Amino acid sequence: MNPTANATLTAHSTADDIARNLSLVNEEIAGTAAKIDEQQVADVARHLNQPGRVFVAGAGRSGLVLRMAAMRLMHLGMTVHVAGDTTTPAISSGDLLLVASGSGTTSGVVKAAETAAKAGARIAAFTTNPDSPLGGLADAVVTIPAAQKTDHGSSVSRQYAGSLFEQVLFLATEAIFQSLWDNDPQPAEELWLRHANLE
């Protein structure tokens, strides 16, 4: 960014702007999260409770959210792999693929789901469009009623691109982790023993 543009941005980024946008983001997240079907999310938690390894696959910011979810599931003692990492093994029957795509058409994510389905793995998907190719491949679908990232004129969200989808995806995966942990006897101290120590 050039210095002139940076100075202009700084001059216009007032405390009032920040307060207004904190409220905007908070209200959009709360309103969208309230519209999620809790039973759909519970179905994903049920799949996570079944035997088998867990794999996560997502592109861009959705993929980053799923990486955070993978870390929390690992803390619970699950065997979790992130698609694309060099040490990720082949998915197979009995495993679960956890995927996210706002549009449900992200090519790499859909391809991963197709591969998982052919291998006999179960698929749990988060998307805005349950009728998408990704939704059609999934055994469990959570519909997040947010704008797709290319829907720039959406009345659903004033935020840029897929921000609302990604924010609510984070909340949903955190709620799943918290619910799984609520029904797990392991104390926080035991989970913490699995936290990375090569940082």
How do residues 54-113 score in pLDDT, each as one tens digit? 999 999 999 999 999 999 999 999 999 999 999 999 999 999 999 999 999 999 999 999
How do residues 176-199 score in pLDDT, each as one tens digit? 999 999 999 999 999 999 999 997
pLDDT the model gives residue 121 = 98
Catalytic residue annotation: 166
SS3 per-residue string spanning the chain: CCHHHHHHHHHHCCHHHHHHHHHHHHHHHHHHHCCCCHHHHHHHHHHHHCCCCEEEEECHHHHHHHHHHHHHHHHCCCCEEECCCCCCCCCCCCCEEEEECCCCCCHHHHHHHHHHHHCCCEEEEEECCCCCHHHHHCCEEEECCCCCCCCCCCCCCCCCCCHHHHHHHHHHHHHHHHHHHHCCCCCHHHHHCCCCCCC
Domains and CATH numbers, the chain: 8-192 (3.40.50.10490)
